Amino acid sequence: MKNIKVLGPGCKRCDALVKMVEEEAAAANIPVTVEKVTDYAEIAQYGIASTPGLVVDGNVVHAGGLPKPENVRQWLAA
């Protein structure tokens, strides 16, 4: 089970990233838990300056804007 965190204030891009992660995980048959992190202090602990950020199993893999769906699938499969 992959532990996913989407870091951001809850904007439309953050919601779109949550949906993208869930869709790519389902398409690749990868079980995930997705947590939305909106607390700025917690987001700052990951060292990202722009949101949304994506954390897979404790590692920041993306920050700022929406990644390509194929990149999300690669990060989930790793």
DSSP label of 46: T
Arithmetic mean of pLDDT, 61-67 = 96
Maximal CA-CA distance, the chain: 33
Angstrom CA distances, 62 to 6, 52, 69, stand at 10, 8, 12
- pLDDT of 10 reads 87
Q: For 41-61, how does the pLDDT look when each residue is reduced to its tens digit (9 = 90+)?
A: 999 999 998 999 999 999 999
Question: pLDDT grade, residue 21 (50/70/90)?
Answer: very high
Confidence (pTM):
0.94
DSSP 3-state of 39: coil
Nearest residue to 56 (alpha-carbon basis) of 41, 38, 71, 40: 71
The highest-level CATH class for domain 2-77 is: alpha beta
